[in-house]
Amino acid sequence: MTFGARLHAAIADRGPFCVGIDPHSALLLDWGLADDVAGLETFALTVVEAVAPYVSVVKPQSAFYERFGSRGIAVLEKVLAQSRAAGALTLLDVKRGDIGSTSQAYADAYLDQSSPLAADAVTVSPYLGFGSLDPFVETARVNDAGLFVLALTSNKEGPEVQHARTDDGATVAGLMLEHLRRLNDGAEPLGSFGAVIGATIGESDEDFGFNGPILAPGFGAQGGTVADVRRIFGSAVVLPSSSREVLRAGPDQTAMRDAVQRANDDLRS
């Protein structure tokens, strides 16, 4: 099955809520853990055990593991493997973007299913030109994996690039969405090439009907609400994503599962 088909089925079965597994230093300390590899592993695998059997997608942010070097990457490999074993799809938040052979090497690292860092999908940046993502696109197709392309982010610096206009008057973000529309053309029940669009972007005139999923970070503790998701995205397939909303409930696994259930119930209602 393609990533789009697997995601469509997972959302129907488990709901649309996506949990970010982001071991911030402050969260480790809040849990009473040391800010070291042992604390990282205890934190991350406790979250996996609590939420991966119940959510459609988990999204570890690679940087929080990379900061511990090779031992942190080894923990990330466990997070990916154990999350998949529990039935969750894995979205590795790496935001990679480069050209040529370097882009291909990144794609092989994260999307080739023989790699120890293989995920079901990754986040990528198109701002070296959308064509720079071709190695990711082709590797995703070969491996039935997915991409989430940065399009409209909610950080204050984003508009200087994303809202800029091309010679024909389209925004750069709109151009990224048009590329995705072409990649997903004819895919059933859902394309495998998604966009990252912040849940707190406010009003937008962009067309989000590109037959692919939308990752919407900023939901929950960062201010995005169910009403925002409905108002901004309409009938699009959306994965509202939150990290702190769930992780602050830990290390109590029941409390984390309850937070996931509440979010899914709110989004489904």
Catalytic residues: 95
Q: Using CA atoms, how far apart are residues 113 and 107, in angstroms rounded to an integer?
A: 11
Q: Using CA atoms, how far apart are residues 234 and 228, in angstroms rounded to an integer?
A: 10
- The tokens describing 131, both together, are 């064509």
Contacts of 254 (CB under 8 A, 6+ apart): 50
Q: Using CA atoms, how far apart are residues 139 and 166, in angstroms rounded to an integer?
A: 29
Of residues 20, 21, 4, 11, the one with CA closest to residue 146: 4
41 by Cβ neighbours in 10 Å (0-12 / 13-18 / 19+) ranks as buried
